[in-house]
Structure 1
Amino acid sequence: MNTDAQELQSPPSPSTVKDILDLADPSHIAIIATDGPVLTYGDLKRQVDSLADKLNSIGIGQEDRVAIILPNGVEHIVSFLAVIAAGATAAPLNPAFTKEEFRFCLEDAGARVLISSIEKIEALEAILPESMIAIVTGLDDDGQVSFTSSASETGPRMVQPSSTDDVALVLHTSGTTSRPKRVPLSHRNLVVSAQNIVETYELTAKDVSLCVMPLFHIHGLVASTLATLISGGVVVVPAKFNALDFWPAVEAHHVTWYSAVPTMHQALLHRAKRNAGSEAIAIAKRNLRFIRSCSAPFPPETLIDMEETFAVPVLEAYGMTEAAHQVASNPLGSGKRVPGSVGIGTGVSIAIMDQDGNIEPAGVTGEVVIKGENITLGYEDNPDANRNSFTDGWFRTGDQGVLDSEGYLRLVGRLKEIIIRSGEKISPQEIDETLLAHPAVAGAVAFGVPSSTHGEVPRAAVVLRAPVKAAELVAYCRAHLAAFKCPKVIHIVDEIPRSATGKVQRRVVSAAFA
């Protein structure tokens, strides 16, 4: 797609997610599926409005939750925007979840509707409640997104326009407990975060993003997709990340930027450097304005190597689900970039707090705390988590960091025991409980260990009550947990270290096996 001949102008700023398409120029290209249709903003709005009307006609609107289980593609984007346009709340889920994980998330979110493929709906039929409305989606022969509902239409439902405080999106994020916490994000949260991204990277209608992050993840939804749509630009959507197909897509669609986790960047860098004189390097230089990295720590030496190889700025950022994604970023253009730092606050106030709730001066390490209009007002139905996560209006991230005198944030560790594998948060307690359900396991503790590929990967140590091979326990985890959560290595030990109060000393075990 070549935009040089077009006079492209960014649309006005929206107040709600629905406003994004209402304010866009209908003639501009919005979505390009690498293996599917090309949609203008007008096409996208028509398809979104059609599904929104269908949802309203079967009685879905305000305060209803609609689960979405789809791979990346036009169908996912249309479904997500249509649920919100209908006045309801979108609840996208990871298609790689097990049935047990789907059951929990669907029940916990209170989903009334499930939008998915016929294959996935049939596979989940046994766990879906009878009251669940299933909507099958796919592409028809004309490349249009089609929707078939299991519910009868009851006529138009009067839907009040969404306000900025209405919940548009709910996501589950792993916490220090075994079950994920439910994070509600309002229209204001999403729009403010997306606009912060637009301003940080100076996005315009001439920009083209390549969305390689999954659309069930806040990173893919807000950074790659909503921010691009707010700017009036183009989102190119492959079905999944593939290092072999990546650069041909950049060249074919004149991609100007992409955002990904370090694992993906490293795969692209490795392939480019392995093939001397790689066309990838020339493609990057011809097309990309910048590369963004977020959702997991990026080794400074790799970041510098990437900048030197592709000759474009590589900007490390800091984000989380509770902040509707972006919190901080290294700046573009004349601003200083600091390898090893996640940059400065982007429309977000950042401070360092001690354990007693006092704000620390620059140069002192403590817990990273944040304030801003993009931050959730609190977890749903979880007063304990809210009590522990908010202090004097500051959200406590659980990350340890230090601010320098110029406001650049460097992350140095985590107070919470979450494992982050390629940007995906994993609760070690969830792995513990899965292993403890095995009849041969008397004790279990999961922990993270450093990985040059994924940043961090889960492992576990177990005490046995009956003989069993570690490989059998790995297979047991795979049967009950999504693949990215499963430890590939399980150590069989005589005992698990505990504190005087009986608490498992997870970090002691991690240090022993790291």
Structure 2
Amino acid sequence: MTTDAPRTVRALLARHAGPVLGAPGRSDLDYAGLAALADRTARQLAGAGVGPGKAVAIVLPNGPEMASCFMAVATQATAAPLNPAYTQDEFRFYMEDLDAKLLIVMRGVDTPARAAAEALGVRMVEVVAGAAAGDFTLADPGGDALPEADAQGNAEGDVALVLHTSGTTSRPKIVPLTSANICASARNIAATLALTPADRCLNVMPLFHIHGLIAAVLSSVHAGAAITCTPGFDALKFFGWLTEVRPSWYTAVPTMHQAILSRAPRNEEAVRAANLRFVRSSSASLPVPVFTALEETFRCPVIEAYGMTEAAHQMASNLLPPGQRKPGTVGVAAGPEVGIMGEDGSILPRGHVGEIVIRGENVTPGYQNNPKANAENWTDGWFRTGDQGELDADGYLSIRGRLKEIINRGGEKVSPREVDDVLMEHPAVAQVVTFAMPHDKLGEEVAAAIVLREGMSADEREIRDFAGRSLAAFKVPRKVLILDEIPKGATGKLQRIGLAEKLGLTA
């Protein structure tokens, strides 16, 4: 690592000039304005008794104020962005779990987080938006600006961001990320994507999620580039934003890319006028047909990457031209070291299947207050991702699936992603999620939920016959559900675990 690489968010903001934050229909905030805002916010937090190591819950709508508030809080305390869609009970759980000292909400926006904070005795302050996108001041609910005090500021080892893992079967784990962790990840992504101050990202990702916070926002800031923050993903508005903002790239999860592709034929003029340098995909597997359709539609490379919260997002990525893109892989190590670990804890040679493990300066130092999870998830300094995969001869990583998502059909192991890949080749299939459903004798059986392409038809038998041409009989889904929509998680990802229950396929 170069010695001048910034290792705190405040140091990142000090390096650049020009526009940084925008929003559709609003003027840009520049780097000097963002740095001044961050300093003012740090002093206001200090005035409220909040400094390094203290968690500040942030519940704001998606948009430029959410981006600037995250960065400003991360210069002085621990930013804890929470999903605005949570219920009062969920807000109470997360704020209590984090021992939040402060809650930041948007003035004029009603949210159950207010009542949760009141019940817990957590002080609440409001964001009062300014004219430029992302500009704000903090005020108490009565309207008075918060008093200021000298701010200590986060050092590189202080926790700047804290997020919970999306636990489906157990209590969510708290992932603390230091200033150095998130700055390293921002640097890695900016380098992978060759970002420059001439770039502008159109952010459609939720900003309570690591993908949006680091891949869209902080990587751009590291490069001195700009980000236009939308109110959230909306396939109907996407092409209008594309025309208005003229971004050089956007990053999204595969379900968003699929929704964009489904509307592209109705927006040919916007597609033709788009001047995207690349499109990025992460946070879930990008089916090869979707990869191909994206490249053909936008006439630019699609860069699939591999990220997770514990790595402050990016771990591996495909390469921009003239580097190689291998559809169906998540590319080469792009920041941390990536290895494949055998069941005995040894690092396996290339070509062998095992658990994907990582180590590097972007990786969390360990789960908060959870020695049991730390003992289970770290081996000899390697973080165990819980994903099964292999590295090919060129160092490109293929993911077979989550180890806990592997379907155990009476001792026969089925990778849901392998089945997904086969079913996605059917001309009528637009989306698919293969998952385990309970079986009284085998323990688990293979099932698949499918959304068909608009105007096309297929029935369960046809889908099963199609799968049987490429898959061993035990891998063919015994149950195929044709749905209008597959239930998604809060960040737009399709989730296998718990899907059988959601769809009523219990034993």
Counterpart selection for 1:224 from 192, 198, 216:
216
Equivalent residues in 2 for 1:78-97, closer than 5 Å = 78-85=68-75, 87-97=76-86
Query: Do structure 1's residue 374 and structure 2's residue 387 form an aligned pair?
Result: no
Amino acid at match of 1:113: L
In structure 1, C-alpha distance between the alignment counterparts of 2:226 and 2:260, rounded to whole Å:
22
Where does the alignment leave 5 or more consecutive residues of structure 1 unmatched? Answer: 1-11, 421-427, 429-444, 455-477, 497-514
Aligned-residue offset at 1:162: 2.3
Amino acid at match of 2:139: T
Q: 1:448 to 1:212 in 2, by over 3 A?
A: farther
- Secondary structure of the corresponding residue to residue 207 of structure 2: coil
What's 1:512 paired with?
A: none
Query: Do structure 1's residue 33 and structure 2's residue 46 form an aligned pair?
Result: no
Query: Do structure 1's residue 67 and structure 2's residue 57 form an aligned pair?
Result: yes
Counterpart selection for 2:504 from 491, 495, 504:
491
- Secondary structure of the corresponding residue to residue 356 of structure 2: strand
Q: Is the Cα contact below 8 Å between 2:44 and 2:149 reproduced in 1?
A: no
CA deviations 1:123-166 (Å, max 9, x no partner) are 33443245311011242567752422259999654443422111
Equivalent residues in 2 for 1:170-249, closer than 5 Å = 170-175=162-167, 177-249=169-241
RMSD: 3.0
Counterpart selection for 2:129 from 139, 164, 185:
139
CA deviations 1:195-234 (Å, max 9, x no partner) are 0011101000000101110110000000100000111111
What's 1:404 paired with?
A: 392
Amino acid at match of 2:103: L
Counterpart selection for 1:358 from 346, 349, 358:
346
In structure 1, C-alpha distance between the alignment counterparts of 2:490 and 2:189, rounded to whole Å:
30
Greater Cα offset, 102-111 or 115-124? 115-124
Aligned-residue offset at 1:252: 2.2
Query: Do structure 1's residue 390 and structure 2's residue 378 form an aligned pair?
Result: yes
Q: Is the Cα contact below 8 Å between 2:138 and 2:146 reproduced in 1?
A: no
Query: Do structure 1's residue 51 and structure 2's residue 41 form an aligned pair?
Result: yes
Q: Is the Cα contact below 8 Å between 1:113 and 1:133 reproduced in 2?
A: yes
Query: Do structure 1's residue 117 and structure 2's residue 106 form an aligned pair?
Result: yes
In structure 2, C-alpha distance between the alignment counterparts of 1:18 and 1:185, rounded to whole Å:
15
Aligned-residue offset at 1:446: 12
Q: Is the Cα contact below 8 Å between 2:24 and 2:245 reproduced in 1?
A: no
Q: 1:395 to 1:492 in 2, by over 3 A?
A: closer
Query: Do structure 1's residue 21 and structure 2's residue 34 form an aligned pair?
Result: no
In structure 2, C-alpha distance between the alignment counterparts of 1:165 and 1:370, rounded to whole Å:
20
- Secondary structure of the corresponding residue to residue 202 of structure 1: coil
- Secondary structure of the corresponding residue to residue 163 of structure 2: strand
- Secondary structure of the corresponding residue to residue 196 of structure 2: coil
CA deviations 1:96-133 (Å, max 9, x no partner) are 11222111111111101000124556633443245311
Q: Is the Cα contact below 8 Å between 1:324 and 1:374 reproduced in 2?
A: yes
In structure 1, C-alpha distance between the alignment counterparts of 2:68 and 2:146, rounded to whole Å:
23
User: Percent sequence identity over matched residues?
Assistant: 44
Amino acid at match of 2:309: T
What's 1:342 paired with?
A: 330
In structure 2, C-alpha distance between the alignment counterparts of 1:249 and 1:295, rounded to whole Å:
23
Query: Do structure 1's residue 100 and structure 2's residue 89 form an aligned pair?
Result: yes
Amino acid at match of 2:504: H
Query: Do structure 1's residue 280 and structure 2's residue 293 form an aligned pair?
Result: no
TM-score (norm 1): 0.77
Counterpart selection for 1:76 from 62, 66, 71:
66
Query: Do structure 1's residue 168 and structure 2's residue 181 form an aligned pair?
Result: no
Aligned-residue offset at 1:243: 1.8
Where does the alignment leave 5 or more consecutive residues of structure 2 unmatched? Answer: 407-415, 418-434, 436-442, 453-486
- Secondary structure of the corresponding residue to residue 279 of structure 2: strand
Aligned-residue offset at 1:174: 2.1
What's 1:148 paired with?
A: 139
TM-score (norm 2): 0.78
Greater Cα offset, 123-132 or 182-191? 123-132
What's 1:324 paired with?
A: 312
Aligned-residue offset at 1:299: 0.4
State the aligned residue count.
Answer: 429
CA deviations 1:233-259 (Å, max 9, x no partner) are 110111111222222322322200110
CA deviations 1:392-426 (Å, max 9, x no partner) are 01110000001101100000111134999xxxxxx
Query: Do structure 1's residue 416 and structure 2's residue 401 form an aligned pair?
Result: no
